[in-house]
Amino acid sequence: MPLDYDTYEEAKEGFRWSEAWEIFDGDRKDFNIAHECVDRHFGDKIGIRIKFDNRRSEIYTFKEVSILTSQFANMLERYGIKKGDRVAISLFPSLEYYISFLGTLKRGAISVPCFPLFGPDALAFRIKDSGARFLIIEKEKKDLIEPDLVSNIIVREDLIKMIQDEEKDYKTDTSADDLAVIQYSSGTTGLPKQVRYPHKAITVSAPFVKFGLGLRRDDNYFCPSSPAWGHGIWYGMMGPLIFGNAIGTYSGKFDPEVLLEALEEFEITNISAAPTVFRMIMNSGKIDNYRLKIERLTYTGEAMEEELFKFLQNKLGIDPHGFYGSTEAGVVLLNYAGFSDWRVKPGSLGKPMLGVKVAVLDRNEDELPPNEVGTLAVKRNDKWIKLGDSGYVDRDGYYWYKGRTDDIIISAGYTIGPNEIENLLLKHPKVLEAAVIGVPDKDRGEIVKAFIKIECEPADDLKKDIQEFVKKRLSRHEYPREIAFVEDLPKTMDGKIRRKELREWERKKRKGLKEKKEVSMWRTY
């Protein structure tokens, strides 16, 4: 069978990217993600499992999801949504989310997933920038949207009723090269930028699902990552579905004990999540209260510390397998959970995805030898794409992470760009200047810290007001959990903020090495 390799050595010898096409019904002229994920598995087999934060569970079959996505596609057509039109979706994991996302693709329109905790500014930017004509949103969030921002708005609570009388079949009309999904990058040097995926992108996900996640035909799979982000979209939702495996997900405010309950209830054998999720499970002290059947565990989004790695080893009897990539480049480095002969080096990013060229580069974009630190990069179309991280490769070919080379902040697995936060902070009436960096945090890996110059006396009430301002208008995962009011900010000669200097100052401060004479250029209150 295509993609069925038992060992790394066997796959390294035999795998070719063209092989991925063999698992699908479609070809380059006639190819649709929704058909490949849902319609071709039509039947009573479970397709979706959802655990909500109130401990309620919902389970749906492939047949149910296939019919509902067809009805949604018919509704879009009736509303005048044409092939290539954009549909923005701002929902928590739910039946309505999956219907909207896959039904949009079935129509030939383009899904624009938006994190449901976005405030009005963040959501409005993505709607305007993508040109979305249709929006599906939580009822409680509808009032955040300006009436003239988008032509049609449907709240989640009304969706099933709205489509119940639509036809239950829908014939797809897309090719492999047609645009399917628009995601947004974190925007380190400006506002978030579009990353576009055609329908054929799912063929790239397929080998990773088998090799990296180690997904098997009889696996019960679970991924609590939000389907508004890359991990949750491609490897929490579409990746398992293309093989006819049910997806499992978590919806609502995260509670590690509710997640453990879901893993037991759904008899999960394969889980993929950010280390933050596993860290919170460890810190809860509740794992021994549940009968878990996990056989393969993967993580991404941030590094996993030795303590957590050993905890999972001891409690589950397995090695965590990490993998690494970006929104723009996809997965490029991984520990191969799907291969019986793979040896995990704790803390390593693993080796390159088969058929993918990865290297560590110096400033001249020349490849560095083993154990020398440089910039991680992947080669595409004979050009190096730098991944924004520094690292090195050891003599065994394993890659190791050293740190960010740009200003990206990774908090609880979320990738956060500073510019969008800084731009919003400047809209606050009391803020004159602002700079944002990531600082270490034992639970989230990093948190957002803002250095702010104000036009009044600093006060704790003002900190809280600024935090709420960002929470409501941007997102609850992006607001600055720490704020330092400063008299000045370090800048270059042309006025650009030197975030690197802020990070260095913060590093020394946290180590107790900062002296007052060192802050002559800019001072905190």
pLDDT of residue 476: 81
- The residues with which 254 forms a beta bridge, in sequence order, are none
Q: How confident is the model at residue 418 (pLDDT cuts 50, 70, 90)?
A: confident
> What CATH fold (topology level) applies to the domain 415-519?
GMP Synthetase; Chain A, domain 3 (3.30.300)
Domain boundary assignment for the chain:
357-406, 415-519
Q: What is the pLDDT of residues 8-44, one digit of tens each?
A: 999 999 999 999 999 999 999 999 999 999 999 999 9
Q: How confident is the model at residue 516 (pLDDT cuts 50, 70, 90)?
A: very low
Average pLDDT, the chain: 91
Instruction: Please determine whether the domains at 357-406 and 415-519 fall in the same fold group of CATH.
Output: no
Which stretch of 168-172, 209-213, 328-332, 346-350 has the lowest confidence by average pLDDT? 328-332
User: Is the pTM of the predicted complex or chain greater than 0.85?
Assistant: no
Q: What is the pLDDT of residues 317-374, one digit of tens each?
A: 999 999 999 888 889 999 999 999 999 999 899 999 999 999 999 989 999 999 998 9
How many C-beta atoms lie closer than 10 Å to residue 216's C-beta?
16
Q: What angle do CA 294, 277, 100 make, to 5 degrees?
A: 90
Q: What is the pLDDT of residues 50-65, one digit of tens each?
A: 999 999 999 999 999 9
Class of the CATH domain delimited by 357-406: mainly beta
Pairing of strands 482-485, 445-454: parallel
Q: What is the pLDDT of residues 390-403, one digit of tens each?
A: 889 999 999 998 87
Q: What is the pLDDT of residues 179-203, one digit of tens each?
A: 999 999 865 556 889 999 999 999 9
Token couple for 503: 């990070």
Helix (H/G/I), strand (E/B), else coil: 435: strand
For residue 520, pLDDT beyond 70: no
Q: How confident is the model at residue 462 (pLDDT cuts 50, 70, 90)?
A: very high
Give the amino acid at 371: N
How many C-beta atoms lie closer than 10 Å to residue 84's C-beta?
11
- 181/172 Cα distance (integer angstroms): 16
Which residues 6+ apart lie within 8 Å of 377 measured at CB? 358, 359, 360, 361, 365, 384, 385, 386, 387
pLDDT of residue 189: 57
- 152/164 Cα distance (integer angstroms): 18
In percent, how much of the chain has pLDDT > 70?
95
Burial class from Cβ neighbours inside 10 Å (0-12, 13-18, 19+) for residue 386 reads middle
Q: How confident is the model at residue 521 (pLDDT cuts 50, 70, 90)?
A: very low
CA nearest 261: which of 272, 273, 250, 253?
Answer: 250
pLDDT of residue 492: 63
